[in-house]
Amino acid sequence: MRVSTTRTWTTRSSSRMRSPRCARSNACSRACRWARNTSRADARDPMTHLRPVTGAAIVGRGMLAHAMAPVVQARHGCIAFASGVSNSTETDPAAFAREEALLREHLQDPRTLLYFSSCGVADEHEARRPYIRHKLAMEALVRAHGGRIVRLPQVVGRTDNPHTLTNYLRDRIVRGEHFDLWANAERNLVDVDDVVRIVAALLDKWPEDRRTVTIASPASTPMPKIVAVFEQVLGRKANYTSLDLGRPMPVDTALARSIAARIGIGFDARYLERVIGKYYG
3 is a domain residue? no
Question: pTM for the whole thing?
Answer: 0.79
In the prediction, which pLDDT does 271 show?
97
CA dist 214 and 152 (Å) reads 6
Quick count: other Cβ atoms within 10 Å of Cβ 47?
Answer: 8
53 is a domain residue? yes
Place 209 in a pLDDT band, splitting at 50, 70 and 90: confident
CA dist 40 and 56 (Å) reads 21
2 is a domain residue? no
User: 169-205: per-residue pLDDT in tens?
Assistant: 999 999 999 999 999 999 999 999 999 999 999 999 8
User: 140-173: per-residue pLDDT in tens?
Assistant: 999 999 999 999 999 999 998 887 899 999 999 9
Place 126 in a pLDDT band, splitting at 50, 70 and 90: confident
Place 127 in a pLDDT band, splitting at 50, 70 and 90: confident
Asked whether the beta carbons of 38 and 164 are under 8 A apart, the reply is yes
Count structural domains, the chain.
Answer: 1
Q: 159: closest CA among 102, 252, 82?
A: 82
Q: Strand, helix or coil at 75?
A: coil
Non-local (6+) Cβ contacts of 48 within 8 A are 61
pLDDT at 44 over 90: no
CA dist 207 and 199 (Å) reads 12
Asked whether the beta carbons of 118 and 41 are under 8 A apart, the reply is no
Q: 88: closest CA among 197, 187, 211, 224?
A: 187
Domain limits for position 189: 10-280
pLDDT at 18 over 60: no
Asked whether the beta carbons of 185 and 226 are under 8 A apart, the reply is no
1 is a domain residue? no
260 is a domain residue? yes
> 75 or 249: which carries more pLDDT confidence?
249
In the prediction, which pLDDT does 187 show?
95
In the prediction, which pLDDT does 125 show?
80
Q: 237: closest CA among 184, 162, 187, 175?
A: 175
**Alpha-carbon torsion angle 115, 116, 118, 121, nearest 10:** 10
CATH of the domain at 95: 3.40.50.720
CA dist 64 and 54 (Å) reads 12
In the prediction, which pLDDT does 61 show?
87
